[in-house]
Amino acid sequence: MAINIISADQPLQVNAIITYIYADPGLGKTSMGFTADKAISFDFDRGSHRTGELRRGAVVQVQQWKDVVDLTPSDLAAYNTVVIDTVGAMLESIKTHLLLTANNRQKDGALKLKAQGLANQTFKQYINTLISLGKDVVFIAHASEDQNGDQVIYRPDLGGKNRNELYRIADIMGYLTTVTTGEGKNARVISFKPSPTHHAKNSGALGGETGEVWVPDLKANPTFLADLIKSAKDHINTLTPEQLALTKAVEDLTNWQQSCAEAEHAGDLNQLTESLSKDHMYYQNMRQIMLARSKELGCTFDKNQNKWIGQPEFQGINNAQRDELLGFIDERGLDTKTVCEHLGIDNLLQIEVKTLNAVKQDIEKMAKEGVKS
């Protein structure tokens, strides 16, 4: 049988995609998962019982990672969509499983760095297995509220490295929240278009130009998520491999710009660096954006440690050291105001501890040169 070769200008049929929904508390994200096509929910958060009559799919109440690993392809054969509720709890479940092996633990009980990498690899391999079985995958996550200057930002409640990795592998990603309509009523909406207030991704062209999809009454619309995923797949399947790759690359670049702008310290830059692939279409652009942000934060890259280093925190002299210095100044016939003006500071507590001896030498020099108050 001849192999069917799909040329670069032909659409590439996509049978399974990854959908990522994160939401504020109490908005029915778990119930929404059950409106996917023939859904089975991996209940890592153990909250499926709260959906009541809206629980229309099967549930695996996950107590430990082994509960998931023991599921066979035949166990999942009757289901078209696997809902991970929540993806953060799934990652923690994998890490807890790895902690059972002594070689994966540090002396303080935390996972070794190598084991953390193994956890991420285990997660990705399992998701790839589900996709290879033709299952749509739905990630559900809690939203976190972060402050960036005066701007409040909503994003998935995950560590930076995991957050960036999950964004990369998702086909569509939306923030579920509530808004007040013109009639003064509360309504739920999923925003698939990124903005300064939230992270999102829209390879499936959902919600038109605004990227907003209004959530109906799920009792009356039991196939809401199934229809949404089908619409996204229908759009993706009109794209050639080159078009799809470009669309995702542009979205990655947009998210990267946003993530870099939100970085606040060297740790954020290190997480971004770990998620940056040299094979990415916009690698150089992304690297330059990160370098620009590192300069704004005053961070430098230490090649020996292979990580970003932030500016050391200011540690000023304490009150006792200040009082001792006041006596030192007085003994040399100087006054505090003259010394502060000479040092370019407003008060002695602005002197760093590490420079105290050098400051004393400078004051001694001032006295010898006859600087007058």
pLDDT digits (tens, 9 = 90+) for 82-102: 999 989 999 999 999 999 998
Report percent pLDDT > 70 for the chain.
Answer: 94
Nearest to 204 by CA among 2, 19, 80: 19
Q: Residue 46 in 3-state DSSP?
A: coil
Indicate if the pLDDT at residue 313 is higher than 70.
Answer: no
What's the pLDDT score for residue 373?
A: 46
Residue 128 in tokens:
């790839």
Domain with CATH 3.40.50 in the chain: 18-239
User: What average pLDDT is seen over the chain?
Assistant: 88
Indicate if the pLDDT at residue 5 is higher than 80.
Answer: no
Residue 8 in tokens:
């670069």
What's the pLDDT score for residue 63?
A: 93
pTM (2 d.p.) = 0.76
∠ CA 49-52-55, nearest 5°, is 80
Indicate if the pLDDT at residue 125 is higher than 90.
Answer: yes
Indicate if the pLDDT at residue 11 is higher than 50.
Answer: yes
Q: Which residues pair with 39 in a beta bridge?
A: 81
User: What is the amino acid identity at position 347?
Assistant: N
What's the pLDDT score for residue 93?
A: 94
pLDDT digits (tens, 9 = 90+) for 30-67: 999 999 999 999 999 887 767 667 777 899 999 999 99
Average pLDDT over residues 105-118: 84
Architecture of domain 18-239: 3-Layer(aba) Sandwich (3.40)
Angstrom distance (rounded) from CA 305 to CA 178:
45
Indicate if the pLDDT at residue 297 is higher than 70.
Answer: yes
What's the pLDDT score for residue 265?
A: 87
Lowest mean pLDDT among 70-84, 138-152, 196-210: 138-152
Indicate if the pLDDT at residue 131 is higher than 50.
Answer: yes
Lowest mean pLDDT among 140-154, 242-256, 285-299: 140-154
Give me the phi and psi of 154, to 5 degrees please.
-105, 130
Angstrom distance (rounded) from CA 32 to CA 21:
10
Lowest mean pLDDT among 169-173, 177-181, 215-219, 278-282: 177-181
Residue count of the chain, please give it.
Answer: 373
Count of CB atoms within 10 A of residue 159's CB? Answer: 13
What's the pLDDT score for residue 183?
A: 82
Report percent pLDDT > 90 for the chain.
Answer: 50
Query: Hunting for tokens 């990705």 — which residue is that?
Result: 124
What's the pLDDT score for residue 372?
A: 52
